[in-house]
Amino acid sequence: MSKIIAIILVTLSAFFWGANFNAGKIAVEHLSPIMAAALRFGLASILIIPVLLLCEKNIGQTIKNNIGMYIILGIIGIAGFNGLFFLGLKYTTPVNGALIMATNPLITIIFATLILKDVIRFNQKTGMTLSFLGVLAVITHGSISYVLQLKVATGDFIIMAANICWALYGVLGKRYLKNSKPLITTSVTMIIGSLLLIALASYNSTVNLIFSQTSQVYAALIYMAVFGSILAYLFWNYGISHLGASNTSIFFNFVPIFTALISIFNGQSITPIQFLGGALVIIGVLISSGSLKFSIKTQSQRAVLDN
């Protein structure tokens, strides 16, 4: 039952992050990328502290046992990932960024193999391949020219650095955190990362901009703080603790799919190739997570069954 709950929750995380692209676009049109990230996680940290204090016990001892890793994860998974991601989008195209982020499950599995000594199972390889092909179909509209015309730019390298940060956030947390519940991990790393983002934003941006925004910008920031930060990170860490870093990372492929679905509600149409791509992603995730099982029998096994 806990596995089913974990699958549902990480799927919701992907949905919240998929919607983040629309909310984030509104925010960065009026604020600098670092300021938008700082406000998002600053607000999220303020909101999650009372939840942490009400729901968890022995917080002090857990923090004491893991403070070093919390700091590393806060820098990498909160400040590093989000700062680099928004900065990278400033210097590259959305297509390039989406293609690079679609490789996150692969990078996570590589790190999980090296750091966690995970064994990559056949269903993970199969599911990962199908999901990646599905994401590729969705974001390129099934046109090979999208891929052939891509140019490597400074922003691409920045997005890849963000991609690596996100993969390390899950793998390092799984490997080195000691008896840290998802809520504690999410809260502490979020507070640490937001403090760093706020410091950077205060140095590089005008603070007065915070108080002169439209209600639409504030609504976007609140959405990103509550759903795209608190709930998404909390659900994701819950998934890592119950499914493992490799299996959880596969669900990240849902992000561009949900972004495309939300775009439909905003008046954009969906093509048959995008529909096919979405189906491949879903099948790939189900196979990788073990929810959809199949087996390939060798010739000797068939012979035994035939006899």
pLDDT tens digits, 63-80: 999 999 999 999 999 999
pLDDT at residue 135 tops 70: yes
Alpha helices in 56-101 (DSSP H): 59-73, 81-91, 94-101
Residues 6+ apart with CB under 8 A from 253: 14, 102, 105, 131, 132, 134, 135, 281, 284, 285
Q: How many CA atoms lie within 13 A of 75 on its CB side?
A: 5
151 — pLDDT class (breaks 50, 70, 90): low
Q: Can you tell me the mean pLDDT for 20-44?
A: 84
* Cα–Cα distance, 10 to 237 (Å, whole number): 8
- Cα angle: 185, vertex 189, 193; to 5 degrees: 165
Residue 236 reports pLDDT greater than 50: yes
Stretch (H or E) spanning 210: none
- Asked if 250 and 240 count as a contact pair (C-beta separation under 8 A), the reply is no
Tens digit of each residue's pLDDT (9 = 90 or more) over 94-128 = 666 766 777 787 788 889 889 988 777 787 778 87
- Residue 208: per-residue pLDDT: 67
Instruction: Give the C-alpha separation, 234 to 229, whole Å.
Output: 8
pLDDT higher than 90, residue 55: no
Give the pLDDT score at 241: 86
pLDDT at 85: 81
Give the pLDDT of residue 117.
86
The one-letter code for the residue type at 8 is I
Amino acid 299: pLDDT: 47
User: Residue 66's pLDDT is what?
Assistant: 96
Residue with tokens 């963000």: 162
For residues 290 and 280, which has the higher predicted lDDT (pLDDT)?
Answer: 280
Query: Which one has a higher pLDDT value, 220 or 300?
Result: 220
CA distances (Å), 162 to each of 24, 78, 97, 155, 166, in order?
16, 10, 10, 10, 6
Confidence of residue 153 (pLDDT cuts 50, 70, 90): low
Query: What is residue 304's predicted lDDT score, i.e. its pLDDT?
Result: 43
The pLDDT of residue 81 is above 70: yes
* Helices (H) then strands (E): counts for the chain: 16, 0
Which pLDDT belongs to residue 1? 66
Q: What is the pLDDT of residues 155-166, one digit of tens each?
A: 878 888 998 999
Average pLDDT over residues 198-203: 86
Overall average pLDDT of the 168-183 stretch = 91
pLDDT of residue 300: 45
Give tens-digit pLDDT for 121-131.
787 778 878 87
Name the average pLDDT for the chain: 81
pLDDT band at 32 (very low <50, low <70, confident <90, very high): confident
* pLDDT band (50, 70, 90) for residue 295: low
- The 8-class DSSP code of residue 249 comes to H
Supply the pLDDT for residue 212: 74
Which residue, among 175, 162, 163, has the nearest Cα to 245 in the 3D structure?
Answer: 175
Q: Reply yes or no on whether the pLDDT at 291 is more than 70.
A: no
270: phi then psi, degrees, rounded to nearest 5: -115, 140
